[in-house]
Structure 1
Amino acid sequence: MTTTPAPDPASIPFSVDPERTARILLAAAIEPGNIDLGRLIRTHGAITLLRLLFTDAASLPHTDFAALTRLRDRAVPLLTTEHTTGILQAIRDADLTVITPSDHCWPHQVNDLGDAAPIVLFARGDRELLTEPGLTGICGARAATGYGAYVATELTEGLVAHGDVIVASGSYGIAADAHRAALTAGGKTIAVLAGGLDRPYPSGHHDLFDRIVRAGGLLLSEAPPTLAPTRWRFQRRSRLLAVLTHHIVIVEAGARSGTLRLAEYAAELGTPLGVVPGPVTSAASTGCHMLIRDHGATLVTGPADVIALEHTNTVTSERSDYPALNSLTALKADWEDDPHLTPAQRRTLHALSDEETQDALTQAARTVQDTFYSLFDTVRSDTTQTLLTRHSADT
């Protein structure tokens, strides 16, 4: 096949880390959340994948050629020298930090998204906040009422006093109220944006975004600079918020609010969800009431209820004499008691970081939980069929 030369990450200006640069270029050419992209990076690495887009990969083993072809069709037209150097220049001009999975501050919880996980994150501000244990999402309607703004402020102030980092979308309404309240209370806050950080959206919050950074907070995006927010990128931002935070509170949401999509993502990912009720006459709280009534969201009336959510993010056993499935303490105790482990294997395991071990343990626990819930589905299905059969026999 006839191809054009691949951009060489090692030869592009400002590149001191070819793997990091390759991830930037791939993110600039292919929309976040592309499963083909995630799978091929996992198989080949970003540098090799970038070159595969421009070369014949027929002799390379373990290559998904259909996926590679799909990526070529999307990426190659955008991977011009002008475009790629422009992206890297924009990163430098905006003084952005590029975070990849090899960095110590990479938020490992995003790996729960599997092959749809971010391949790179762009940041402005204190990226160490991503490693904080109390990342609390506060979300809600853009057209917030006075009641919603008051509750968001009160919740945020209490959570900041507790030491939580407030995570929100930087949008108008409840999110902005939460950011401002965190700053006023002397806390830290993270704004997760849908577009590139060189022109953060909404533009009307330019001063707010600068305040967040100056106060030691963080602006974060999955989108490279120069990319404008789109409907798809807003959805991806919601999913990133849901997986990044340790628990989420929705303050106000109408019956058709986009915030309800965030609640769906939280449910899919197992992120504990709290919801603030509102006046029964308020359309701005209809979605909140639906989440509480129909979807089992935890009712939140103050900071103490949100703090209690922090203790629900473990996968627990029905038997009280069993520890949580993702208990790190219990796992390490098992290592000491396991007669099948050699002393060398125990030393290897104990030398691992708690972060890596907890990440693997939580993934395994969620797999067990999914299997457990699927058995519940079978029980309900079998019960339904039994009743129908019985009813049919009786009639």
Structure 2
Amino acid sequence: MMTTTTRAADRRARAALSRLMEPSDWVGLALVAAVGALDGLRIATGEVNPGPELQAELYRLLNREQSRSQQGMLSEALQRWRPRIKDLDPERDLATIERLGGTVLVPGDESWPVELADLELAEPLCLWTRGQHSHGIPPAERTIAVVGSRDSTNYGNSATGDLAAGLTQKGYCVASGGAYGIDAQAHRSALAAAEPGHWPATIAIMACGLDRYYPAGNEELLRTVASRGLLLSELPPGAAPTRWRFLQRNRLIAALAGTTVVVEARWRSGALNTAHHAAGLGRPVGAVPGSIYSANSAGTHRLLRDGSAVCVTDAAEVAELAGPLDAGAAAEQQVPLSDHDGLSVEDLLLLDALPVRQGTTVEKLSAVAGLPMRTVLAGLGRLEIMSLAQQDSSGWRRQQRS
């Protein structure tokens, strides 16, 4: 067990590492997993030279085979981090977030969301928080993510407003990304529907440091979220939003929420990325159908057609998908999710990629699941044995249990 002094040092080290490394820097995360945050920071900053046995441990953690082309993996990472070393000042960053009324959480803290462990190696190094954090972060079963297009339509805004308000009234916390469009409408409606004493009404997971409100057009809204809910980020104060950081932020939304709902999403949308993260974690995903003539609903219809999401049209259906809040009632009412029990992350990705009705090819499954062909073939064999997948003349599809 860590002493108070050791825990404080670990917190400072993780704060520094969050500035040194990009979110989901796999080599950096493996380094911390192998030697801890304190020694990881010493190695990353060049204070301590890594031994040859560390390289082998990194390969093991990353599940990679050593090859000549990969022998410089750690050396390349050290070069990548070197330009940022001069900017490291964790004491300054910790003082900044404290001045803003926030704090930084690290694994092992009582308030650390245990659901983030489902991300395995991709679990963030720390979480910077701002707002009413004294009550902690709501558990995943009480949190529902509502995401969608930035250029939302009147229909999408209306559907989002009804969903977010209804879920808030049912006692759920609405999580989203603080962006324009569906995200902003979800936050606004949750805040408007929250009863006095209902906390937190909503959580915004940001892709930048919490000393700035981004996008600027949502500053007033995000200030309100901070006063009545929470702003969260894995990035330190001063960090600017980038495309990579937005994409990596989506995994946090999916992990912190027990259920994800996509209201509107174009064919290539960041909201689909969040939905795929949720599916990979074995979390329920819902999608709101839209007009067949609307490009804003092409992505949501794709989720429904592929069997990646369940059709939902109101807050009651989302709550049913999420399951009851009461643990006792859940045991009696919730449909068992036994299909996912004991499956690895790769098999979960493959299971969620399998269509329900029309079969598909191994090549398409590889593309949809984001897995190598050999991994797909091995996974299909395991799922077939478990009566979760079957092959017919049209290809591979999910086998429905009776």
1:262 aligns with 2:274: yes
How many residues of Structure 1 are paired with residues of Structure 2 in the alignment? Answer: 329
In structure 2, the CA distance between the partners of 1:117 and 1:16, relative to structure 1 (3 Å rule), is closer
In structure 2, the CA distance between the partners of 1:183 and 1:233, relative to structure 1 (3 Å rule), is same
Gaps of 5+ in 2: 59-70, 326-334, 352-378, 396-402
**Structure 1 vs Structure 2 CA RMSD:** 3.2
Asked if the contact 2:255–2:281 (Cα under 8 Å) also holds between the matched residues in 1, the reply is yes
Asked if the contact 2:160–2:182 (Cα under 8 Å) also holds between the matched residues in 1, the reply is yes
Which of residues 39, 42, 62 in structure 1 aligns to 2:30? 39
Q: Quote the offset at 1:230 in angstroms.
A: 0.2
In structure 2, the CA distance between the partners of 1:17 and 1:368, relative to structure 1 (3 Å rule), is closer
Determine helix, strand or coil for the equivalent of 1:103: coil
Asked if the contact 2:140–2:258 (Cα under 8 Å) also holds between the matched residues in 1, the reply is no
1:71 aligns with 2:73: no
TM-score, reference length from structure 1: 0.74
Gaps of 5+ in 1: 1-9, 314-321, 327-361, 387-395
Residue 365 of structure 2 corresponds to which residue in structure 1? none
Q: Quote the offset at 1:385 in angstroms.
A: 12
- Taking the TM superposition and a 5 Å limit, the aligned residue runs for 1:96-245 are 96-127=102-133, 128-131=136-139, 133-186=141-194, 187=198, 188-215=201-228, 217-245=229-257
Whole-Å Cα distance in 1 between the matches of residues 101 and 324 of structure 2? Answer: 38
Whole-Å Cα distance in 2 between the matches of residues 130 and 143 of structure 1? Answer: 29
Q: Quote the offset at 1:83 in angstroms.
A: 4.8
Asked if the contact 2:12–2:91 (Cα under 8 Å) also holds between the matched residues in 1, the reply is no
Q: Quote the offset at 1:177 in angstroms.
A: 0.7
Q: Quote the offset at 1:82 in angstroms.
A: 6.1
In structure 2, the CA distance between the partners of 1:300 and 1:381, relative to structure 1 (3 Å rule), is closer
Q: Quote the offset at 1:247 in angstroms.
A: 0.3
Whole-Å Cα distance in 2 between the matches of residues 223 and 368 of structure 1? Answer: 26
In structure 1, what residue type is equivalent to 2:248?
Answer: R
Q: Quote the offset at 1:203 in angstroms.
A: 1.5
Q: Quote the offset at 1:86 in angstroms.
A: 4.5
Asked if the contact 2:285–2:308 (Cα under 8 Å) also holds between the matched residues in 1, the reply is no
Whole-Å Cα distance in 2 between the matches of residues 81 and 232 of structure 1? Answer: 20
Determine helix, strand or coil for the equivalent of 1:219: strand
In structure 2, the CA distance between the partners of 1:63 and 1:280, relative to structure 1 (3 Å rule), is closer
TM-score, reference length from structure 2: 0.73
- Percent identity over paired residues: 35
In structure 2, the CA distance between the partners of 1:366 and 1:135, relative to structure 1 (3 Å rule), is farther
Whole-Å Cα distance in 2 between the matches of residues 264 and 69 of structure 1? Answer: 32
Asked if the contact 1:156–1:166 (Cα under 8 Å) also holds between the matched residues in 2, the reply is yes
1:370 aligns with 2:347: yes
Whole-Å Cα distance in 2 between the matches of residues 239 and 289 of structure 1? Answer: 21
Determine helix, strand or coil for the equivalent of 2:343: helix
Whole-Å Cα distance in 2 between the matches of residues 25 and 368 of structure 1? Answer: 30
Superimposed CA distance per residue, residues 129-167 of structure 1 (whole angstroms, 9 cap, x where no aligned partner): 333631000011111111111111111111111100000
- Greater C-alpha Rg: 1
- Taking the TM superposition and a 5 Å limit, the aligned residue runs for 1:342-353 are none
Asked if the contact 2:27–2:77 (Cα under 8 Å) also holds between the matched residues in 1, the reply is yes
